[in-house]
A and B are shown apart, each in its own frame.
Chain A
Amino acid sequence: GNSVTQMEGPVTLSEEAFLTINCTYTATGYPSLFWYVQYPGEGLQLLLKATKADDKGSNKGFEATYRKETTSFHLEKGSVQVSDSAVYFCALRRKGNTPLVFGKGTRLSVIA
């Protein structure tokens, strides 16, 4: 079946540290890949996406590259801020008209 595996949190970093949150997927064909962010008590917001192999999604200093050979879509940011503290979800959408499949989420805490 289709699934997404994320590194378990929580992840605690100091401000300005480098961030990596690992995400790997299992899917038939070539799905579209997404990263969402959720702030406390809120819904999910799309952070970035990639729809084909070798695409790089980027937004607000965050980046992720669609790696077909390793079935991965790791999220990175060069210098995190306290305001980046949130839960991050990796997700995939298979080709066709199907719902997103989400990973379990990774909680990030950034301390000043």
Chain B
Amino acid sequence: DGGITQSPKYLFRKEGQNVTLSCEQNLNHDAMYWYRQDPGQGLRLIYYSQIVNDFQKGDIAEGYSVSREKKESFPLTVTSAQKNPTAFYLCASSITSEGYEQYFGPGTRLTVT
């Protein structure tokens, strides 16, 4: 089946540790995105990539880093510089033509204590 996978579903880390969230898609989409979701805040864009080896900061990129070495993969690293990393993280992908929707993965819930 085509789709987006995110792993793991739940992730626990100690404060001060970097952690990498996985996102893989087999939809042959050029563009991939990372969003953060907090209660009452909706979705906020962290980073996005429209093509391999290129990516742009979103609205809340501070404390996060990404790479896009393969079309299928867009991992997100939450660094120790992120002040409040506990959240639900959603990965998405889309084709780059106008009017097309984004497809979302199931999300990873990160808890940092």
Binds B, one of A68-76, A77-85, A95-103: A95-103
Partner of B102, one of A41, A42, A100, A103: A100
Residue contact A99 to B48, C-beta cutoff 8 Å: yes
The secondary structure that dominates the A interface is loop
A89 on the interface (CB 8 Å rule)?
A: yes
Residue contact B43 to A102, C-beta cutoff 8 Å: yes
B62 on the interface (CB 8 Å rule)?
A: no
* CB neighbours of A49 from chain B (8 A): 99, 101
* CB neighbours of A97 from chain B (8 A): 31, 50, 96, 98
Given A97-B96, A99-B45, does the pair A46, B40 have CB atoms closer than 8 Å? no
A93 on the interface (CB 8 Å rule)?
A: yes
* CB neighbours of B74 from chain A (8 A): none
Partner of A102, one of B42, B48, B96: B42
Residue contact A99 to B105, C-beta cutoff 8 Å: no
- Least Cβ distance of A107 to chain B in Å? 10
Residue contact A96 to B41, C-beta cutoff 8 Å: no
Q: Give Cα distance in the complex from A36 to B105, angstroms.
A: 13
Residue contact A44 to B98, C-beta cutoff 8 Å: no
Residue contact B98 to A89, C-beta cutoff 8 Å: no
Contacting B at CB under 8 A, from A18-69, are 32, 34, 36, 41-46, 49, 51
Q: Give Cα distance in the complex from A32 to B98, angstroms.
A: 8
B107 on the interface (CB 8 Å rule)?
A: yes
- Least Cβ distance of B14 to chain A in Å? 24
- Least Cβ distance of B81 to chain A in Å? 23
B106 on the interface (CB 8 Å rule)?
A: yes
* CB neighbours of B48 from chain A (8 A): 99
* CB neighbours of B103 from chain A (8 A): 46
- Name A residues whose Cβ lies closer than 8 Å to a Cβ of B: 32, 34, 36, 41-46, 49, 51, 89, 93, 95-97, 99-100, 102-105
